[in-house]
Amino acid sequence: MDIYSINDIGSLIKDNSYVGRGIVIGTSKSGDKAVTAYFIMGRSENSRNRIFTENNGTVKTEPFDASKVEDPSLIIYSAVRQLDNKLIITNGDQTDTVYNMMTEGKSFKEALETREFEPDAPNLTPRISGIVYFGDEKFSYEMSILKSIDADGSDCCRYTFSYPAKAGLGHFIHTYVCDGNPIPTFQGEPERVEIPDSIDDFTDNLWANLDKNNKISLYVRYTDIKTGKYEQRLINKNK
């Protein structure tokens, strides 16, 4: 096995009915764009009853049909927020924890030390998070996963991964390995994936290969590291 191989993300998720929620961060092949993506999937009616909305760069999950919401606590949150030269992406309300604590001078890692996996036994869904640090025509990024140390949820393990930008390379972290009961938690380091120059090619590859029954929404952003201007794509299964 080549530990330095770079995977096609469509091939990684194809025929996998449930990878859960996923974050991708990386660099376009040309090296001039910081690339971020976030998607959600769902099995229950409550989870599937969602859409992404975007306003001035902030992305939120919102109910598609408010009358059908059963429990909003783990499904409604800000997924993407900008703080000065930092872009925060997470799969839960820890987005706000990171945002608020970083405004107070704390680090990404320090903020996530105050949180743990989701209280949704027996799955004990991991909290996955990412942050992009934009600098002078360059950037770097970190990714995190908070997951249970055992099947009982007796304590939390916290892992943080730090990466420099590398042209054409991205990292992909998701909540689950595959479907199951309980659902098996993501294992190991974030997966290495190819990042093309075309935002539409990348968006189409992700959306087309997510399971058609369980995929809900996808958001992709390509940010020019010199100007800070970005292109974005947002797809909702519920229209």
Do the domain assignments include residue 237? no
Q: Which of 212, 211, 207, 210 is nearest to 234 (CA)?
A: 207
- Collapsed DSSP state (helix, strand, coil) of residue 36: strand
pLDDT for the residue numbered 2: 85
Report the DSSP beta bridge partners of residue 180. none
pLDDT for the residue numbered 190: 98
pLDDT for the residue numbered 68: 87
Compute the distance between CA of residue 171 and CA of residue 166 in angstroms, rounded to an integer. Answer: 11
pLDDT for the residue numbered 93: 97
- pLDDT by 10s per residue, the chain, length 239: 688 999 999 999 999 999 999 999 999 999 999 999 999 999 989 899 999 999 999 999 999 998 888 888 888 999 999 999 999 999 999 999 999 999 999 999 999 999 999 999 999 999 999 999 999 999 999 999 999 999 999 999 999 999 999 999 999 999 999 999 999 999 999 999 999 999 999 999 999 999 999 999 999 999 999 999 999 999 999 98
Helix-then-strand count for the chain, H and E: 5, 13
User: Apex CA 235: angle with CA 72 and CA 177, to 5°?
Assistant: 65
Compute the distance between CA of residue 87 and CA of residue 4 in angstroms, rounded to an integer. Answer: 27
What residues contact residue 111 under an 8 Å CB cut-off, 6+ apart? 94, 97, 98, 100, 101, 102
Write out the DSSP string of 60-72: EEEESSGGG-S--
Do the domain assignments include residue 30? yes
Query: How many CB atoms sit inside 10 A of residue 53's CB?
Result: 13
CATH of the domain at 47: 3.60.20.20
Do the domain assignments include residue 76? yes
Domain that holds residue 122: 9-223
pLDDT for the residue numbered 1: 64
Q: Which of 78, 38, 46, 80 is nearest to 65 (CA)?
A: 46
- Collapsed DSSP state (helix, strand, coil) of residue 138: coil
Do the domain assignments include residue 2? no
Class of residue 174 by CB neighbours under 10 A (exposed 0-12, middle 13-18, buried 19+) = buried
Into how many domains does the chain fold? 1
Q: What is the pLDDT of residues 175-219, one digit of tens each?
A: 999 999 999 999 999 999 999 999 999 999 999 999 999 999 999
Do the domain assignments include residue 230? no
Compute the distance between CA of residue 96 and CA of residue 4 in angstroms, rounded to an integer. Answer: 34
Do the domain assignments include residue 238? no
- Collapsed DSSP state (helix, strand, coil) of residue 189: coil
Its sign, for the CA torsion 98, 101, 105, 106, is negative
Do the domain assignments include residue 234? no
Do the domain assignments include residue 233? no
